[in-house]
A and B are shown apart, each in its own frame.
Chain A
């Protein structure tokens, strides 16, 4: 009735079960067919489980019987001699369990071990076939392929198109008046002053340009537009901040009139945008009187999108008509108010925004499943409520994807993916029920006082400080970028998604906790990739294969919009309104891991994690409406961090192995008593061995739970 405690199967890579029929032929079946003859040494099954330091989940190592007899031997012989040693064969072991409820009961089997038979070690000795067993669990595939890069098409049905509507770049221009001799202007209203641009922080293609030719006068506005000697061309509506400091020497030869220094702005069709605010300076000119004055000022005006702007001097009583025009000679010199010649005496700054494009991106949950499919040949599923409900919702694309190139691919591996997700969300990854599970670290250290595994009294307790969890400094963030000329360097020093270094108040170790990711989230990098390679389908770029993470709004219109929900509350950026990926900032990544840091920094609550340095000096801060202030470079007192997940102590104990506790839960806290029940301890499994067939006492290493009071251990002498 109860049956065997374990059932053994041999199956192929399609999970079909091998068996030998009545005629001795090898057959496969989709229905489970257990081996009639249990492999010799069945009672030696052992499972060693250890917490993976990188993934915060668990690795398993199996010791399983290797001596196959009768039907097991015949199956392996048929495969080895008939199909070759590369044929995949898996040994599956199920352990008997009992279903039990108020009204029903029933015996069933659940998966204990699935491991691969290594036919390269096949040894046939009379009735016995021996072959080594490889860990066939997903964890073996992980170990083997976690760093193997795979390519994923970005243009797939599951892709999420994202509207990259650009970041307003603050472009600035410095110029000098390039006029060495006076120019006589006879009764003409408009004079385009020639400016020689000396330095720019702007995109090389668009924005400000040097006027060409020499300072020249024009009869009217239409002639100015027709000259095409605009100093600036806008793509988006922008404020334009103009600083000027030049000397005007004007010889009046007759009449009385006015001098206007003004931006003459035209639409793309050449229609004058006549806005009085565009006048920068006004001076009265008197007949026969030489005018010599240092013209200095600063003014902000608003320019419409897609316009051209000409910086002009207008001599007229009316800026829009030829009334009171005069015969004058102009000399605009580069002498500044400080008397320096040759210094720039005109500067202006404006926003530039590249037109919106749409790029395809891959959602995190999709990319996770795809990576695991590649690693395991599609044999394992994934589970992640975190990725299914990601907040902020992060999608991924490549440099080629951001450029909108058809056929773009994203190249990454599972380790890189995990590193990013861990940095931003503080996660652990492990195998539960044959599926790879990715959840926050708090999932793996269930802080529940009821859902616990009570193992009663333990013995042979040994307590140690687990230095694996200590760190003296911590690095978090994204690869530092140097936006060279090829990329365009405007505003790049305001990029906040770079690497930050923090100092922990721990001096006993010199370990650096490295949480940095190879993925990029720098908004300027994304923007430069879009702009610089616009329309260039064959150009190569160092960023083509970079993986970019982008925070978007998951719900709403298609294409998805960039997540700018924090933008109204951001200070410290050049243009907070159009910034994006602020929710992926290193400090917010820091805060996502703060419960882990707090756990590692036990009894250091009076101290702080101290900001040390970052690649770029961006003092971004976000003052959220709920009063939360996220300041990128502000130290974090440890007592303000979220509650601990664990404490950095390990308990080595011996307990009876009545059941394989680890199959019950990888997440739940194990509680135990010690010293005849006088001390209560709790912990999460760090390392455990199990021999299900014998229930032999096992050594367990537990990571101290957050709620465990350790001072009673002072009085332990046994």
Chain B
């Protein structure tokens, strides 16, 4: 099989081809093929977007590929490489020999403040290189939310079982809204009412985009982040409220859009738990012990055979 690289959408960095090679007959510039600045239409206001990035935030990435190396170069605004990281092979695919999970953890704390982008060069083939949106590196976290997210099992081409936890910093803020509760009430014979049980909970609203808005590529990343079963917002576990959907806040002729969505507590605790030695703001990780004998093959005859199926996505 020729060199193939899978870049899961759940990664916090949005990569697009350095050379999109879009045929001249196609006019549409899809956001997942071009960086934001290259997708602006003539009638739209010129704009730029820089992903805010705190210097102490590590950039965790995961790929799957059947070749090596996967080199990640951090380039400054003059396209000079200031940092190079090679993704490490962390697991080999037992069913597709040659395929590996690659992971990289990029530490940008030593870099000066400023704009940077990441260049992903797969193997020796520069024509397949991928570049990221521009990142604005600083020690300023004002009006940003750091989303940390992972799923309890593999999902959307990411093998979370390796222990990888993604982090994505987005412009935005959280706002507390009116609290709620689930109540069970009781009226006696003369209609004196009392509460038998009541479970109060906090309601939140997340604003993505701060005052300017964000491009499509970033809200897609954020939407992916909310698709997993563990997501924290600046360290607090919050989850989508029942029926929550993104609401857009747009301005005419502006491509950057603001978004809001209702959230509830992911950990609705009756107490604040204080323990200086522990992170008390995380959820118990569920451990499933799997028994090999429970599986059968397609004929139902044998217990533990692996069914090899070739498929294409």
Contact = CB atoms under 8 A, between A and B. Distances in A.
A104 B288 contact: no
B311 A34 contact: yes
A3 B91 CA distance: 18
B251 interface: no
Given A668-B289, A717-B197, A9 B311 contact: no
A120 to B, nearest CB: 23
B24 interface: no
Contacts of B306: 108
Interface string A634-663: 000000000000000000000010110101
B91 A434 contact: no
A453 B157 CA distance: 25
Contacts, number: 143
B239 to A, nearest CB: 11
Interface string A450-492: 0111111000000000000000000000000000000000000
B189 interface: no
Most buried by B among A4, A379, A661, A718: A718
Interface in A416-469: 432-435, 451-456
A105 B93 contact: yes
B276 interface: no
B291 A99 contact: no
Interface string B96-129: 1001010000000000000000000000000000
B144 to A, nearest CB: 30
Interface string B167-210: 00000000000000000100000000000110100000000000
Interface string A675-702: 0100000000000000000000000000
B27 interface: no
A103 B92 contact: yes
Contacts of B313: 1-4
B95 interface: yes
A380 B64 contact: no
Contact of A380 (B159, B161, B229, B300): B300
Contact of A718 (B93, B159, B197): B197
Interface residues of B, number: 51
Interface in B289-313: 289-291, 293-304, 306-307, 309, 311, 313
Interface stretch (A64-72, A109-117, A158-166): A109-117
B269 A104 contact: no
Nearest 7 A/B pairs, CB to CB: A434-B296, A434-B300, A15-B299, A106-B95, A105-B91, A433-B296, A106-B94
Given A3-B311, A454-B284, A667-B291, 7 more contacts: A15-B300, A32-B309, A451-B289, A454-B287, A665-B291, A665-B294, A717-B197
Interface of A: 1-4, 7, 9, 11, 15, 17, 32, 34, 92, 94, 97-100, 103-111, 114, 138, 379-381, 383, 432-435, 451-456, 656, 658-659, 661, 663-668, 676, 717-718
19 contacts: A1-B6, A2-B157, A4-B313, A34-B311, A104-B91, A104-B94, A105-B92, A105-B159, A105-B161, A106-B94, A106-B96, A108-B95, A108-B306, A110-B295, A111-B298, A434-B297, A454-B284, A454-B287, A664-B290
